[in-house]
Structure 1
Amino acid sequence: MSAAPLVSVRGEANLEVPPEIVQLAITVTARDPGRERALELLAQRNEECRRLLEGYGEGVERVETSGLAVYPELRWLGRREQVRAYRGTVRLDVTVVDFAILGDLVARAADGDLTTLNGPWWRLRPSSPVHRRARQEAARDAVARAREYADAVGGHLTGLVELADVGLTTDVHPPPQVFAAAPVGLARARGGEAPEPPPIELEPQVQVVHARVEARFTMSEPEAL
């Protein structure tokens, strides 16, 4: 008895959904001819930035220190090295879940003294149910394709041989914008000589989730051949 005919297909799904979180990177810098003063300024600006972020409550889900550097800037005098100044930087990685506060947060953070802000990076959570939905739709697409192929030759599906997950990816985002800070204080009083900057309007970037599966089915003997 001959083996049952096989149908091999690939199922695909593409979902466009709004992002769930947005990530920013804030770098504060301090520079001074004196090492102690440079460290003092760095600690002060880092604390001011952290207090600013804490002021947004649960809208900011996570603040993590991902980088710290303190080093001398050297210059040559004849054949000798001389310390010209000391520079320090602290990088904070910020995860925001309330998009309503994002424009105000970005404007105020980027307004800090010697502060650079990178982002935004729009993301889905790794545990997002969107990934599961994409995989399920890809599997259903594989079944539908296999049925169409079997029907085209006068047959029908009789069983599943194999169903394999061959990839699940999210679109790579374009390079983030960089907001350069003006040399002014991070915390400002409204109505004074230096009012807080207006919010920067940001539009969430649609997330495209791809899922692909490969499937193999048995089918009845074709009648159209």
Structure 2
Amino acid sequence: MAPLDIHVTGAGTAYHPAERSILTLHAQSISFPTAQEADSMVASVLNSLCDAIAPYCPYETSTDSANNNAAISHYSIKTFETSQGRDRVQDYGSMSFSSKSSYKISFSASANLSIEFRDFALLARLATQIGSMENVKIKSLEWILTPSTQATVQGQARKEAARHAIRKAKDYAEVFGGLSGDEAAIKVRAMLVKENVPYKTFTKAKVHIGKVKNGKTQKSEWDYEPLDVGVEVKVDGRFSVHE
């Protein structure tokens, strides 16, 4: 009897509580008569944000690098862009319905500021404070792991994916090969393993009941509670059943 070949895919997932958070803020100014004024407005907002952040992100004067024990690991301006547009100007003094609208040139500017937090309580306080500032909005919030923890979680997910593939191969061997569970454990052998990359990283949402006021859910510090970061690994395996 020829060896029975079995091709299966195994999937494994592992989780770990988030260790860092990256908050991205978007500052914007619109409809200014000159590019300089639009840029100046955004620069002023960025300065205010940096002033609020700086006390929590001190730098080591000897190395000019971020303090590893600081509440904020680092922050940086990711993009600073200026754009030009046209605003429609209607002549309301004219009674003619056929009068043509005119346009004036206006300028807008925007910038993204990225902040990496170690202290999640500080994240909640600052995000709530910043969220109420004019010309600023929270663009995104990402929960991440440190590189060493990420590698550990990936290893756990890989092992789970491998065990999953082996379990499936043994199940098929029992049915298609007519083996008992003990026989499958001995005779099913891995011949080829191919890992699917890249890995999938995601966060597992937590469910909370928001406070409702005037028909709208109000944001609070609960919105910045850290999530679990998950890693999913998939592996393709080819197994053979040997006598």
**TM-score (norm: length of structure 2):** 0.65
- Alpha-carbon deviations, 1:158-208, whole Å to 9, x = none? 64311111353134788xxxxxxxxxxxxxxxxxxxxxxx97332223333
2:74 maps to which residue? 62
Find the aligned partners of 2:36 and 2:170 in 1 and give their Cα distance: 74
| Deviation sequence 1:74-97 (CA, Å, 0-9, x none) | 3356676434x5432221122223
Task: Quote the Cα distance in structure 2 between the aligned partners of 1:4 and 1:70.
Answer: 67
For the residue of structure 2 that corresponds to 1:74, the secondary structure is: strand
Specify the SS of the correspondent of 2:221: coil
Alpha-carbon deviation of 1:14?
A: 2.4
Write the distance in 1 (CA, Å) between the matches of 2:128 and 2:171. 54
Normalised to the residue count of structure 1, the TM-score between the two structures is 0.69
CA change 1:215–1:82 in 2 (3 A) is closer
Contact 1:121 1:173 in 2 (8 A): no
- Residue identity opposite 1:215 in structure 2: G
Match of 1:206 in 2: 228
**CA offset at residue 106 of structure 1?**
0.2
**Which residue identity is paired with 1:28?**
A
| 8 Å Cα contact 1:60-1:96 kept in structure 2 | yes
| Structure 1 stretches lacking a partner, 5+ long | 175-197
Larger relative helix fraction? 2
| Secondary structure, aligned partner of 1:204 | coil
Look up the match of 1:162: 192
1:111 match: secondary structure: coil
Question: Contact 1:146–1:217 (CA<8 Å) still a contact in 2?
Answer: yes
Q: Does 1:12 align with 2:24?
A: no
- Identity percentage of aligned residues: 20
Out of 96, 113, 121, the position equivalent to 1:100 is 121
Preserved CA contact (<8 Å) 2:203 2:227: no
Residue 62 of structure 1 deviates from its aligned partner by 3.3
Relative distance call for 1:150 and 1:50 in structure 2 (3 A) is same
Matched, 1:75 2:105: no
Q: Matched residues in 2 for 1:79 and 1:214: separation?
A: 64
Q: Which runs of 4+ in 1 moved over 6 A?
A: none
Match of 1:146 in 2: 169
For the 8 Å contact 1:159–1:218, the answer to whether it is kept is yes
Aligned residues: 196
**Within-5 A mapping of 1:105-120:** 105-120=126-141
Which AA in structure 2 matches 1:210? E
* Residue 55 (structure 1) shift: 2.2
* Residue 153 (structure 2) pairs with residue 130 (structure 1): yes
Report the equivalent of 1:184.
none
CA apart distance, 1:134: 0.3
Q: Cα RMSD over matched residues?
A: 3.2
The CA distance in 1 between the partners of 2:35 and 2:193, in whole Å, is 62
- Distance in 2 between residues matched to 1:76 and 1:11, nearest whole Å: 59
CA–CA separation in structure 2 for the residues paired with 1:98 and 1:109: 16
- Secondary structure of 1:65's match? strand
Per-residue Cα deviation, 1:94-131 (whole angstroms, up to 9, x for no partner) = 22232221111202222333211123232345661211
**Contact 1:146–1:157 (8 Å) recurs in 2:** no
